[in-house]
Copies of this chain bind each other. A is one copy, B any other.
């Protein structure tokens, strides 16, 4: 039984695409902030590479806070927790990178993620998005889950070209080369319901 897209009003929730030997599926990246000193907590039975993706996403945002309109002193006042349900399923690989990046930008800006959108792609510290595998299976799973738009790396365009057009009906694809493009597409300008008023070092939001 596969998961369905959920129209979620909560900051930090992003839909990713997973691919295992038993086929594709969607997964959810969830992140929250609590008052603290900048610790990063990662749960969801993740392997080493997937945990590294979370670290890369957070460090990239911290190093480029200005690009994303985030007050950098916020990073010192909150702990970040990233979780990927379902907890019993081991998960690994770099392909959740752009979903983790999007989750954290949504979280720190308290802005809504675009509706009915899923994404898959590896991230790098130089801001590039890299292609990933299992595209066909992931796309089929996205359709089943009622996803409408999908972000992929430009280098994965050729993988879409190999899929029968009838399977792609109703899906819009966004091909990107860098992480700024992901955020421009995925994070809306609307605040989430009951946004947190994040406090910087100065003690002021």
Q: Which residues from chain A sit less than 8 Å from chain B, CB to CB?
A: 6, 8, 10, 12-13, 28, 30-35, 41, 43-45, 48-49, 52-53, 55-56, 59-60, 62-64, 72, 75-76, 79, 81-83, 85-88, 93-94, 97, 122, 124-128, 130
Contacts and interface: CB of A to CB of B under 8 A. Distances in A.
A94 B86 contact: yes
A87 to B, nearest CB: 4
Contacts of A83: 52, 56, 124-125
Contacts of A122: 85-88
Nearest to A76: B35
A49 B93 contact: no
How many copies are assembled? 6
A59 B53 CA distance: 21
Given A62-B35, A63-B32, A85 B55 contact: no
Main secondary structure of the interface of A (DSSP, over half): mixed
Given A45-B48, A52-B45, A94-B88, A75 B28 contact: no
B130 A35 contact: no
Contacts of A12: 125-126
A137 B58 CA distance: 35
Contacts of A30: 124-126
B35 A75 contact: yes
A34 B62 contact: yes
Contact of A43 (B44, B45, B55): B55
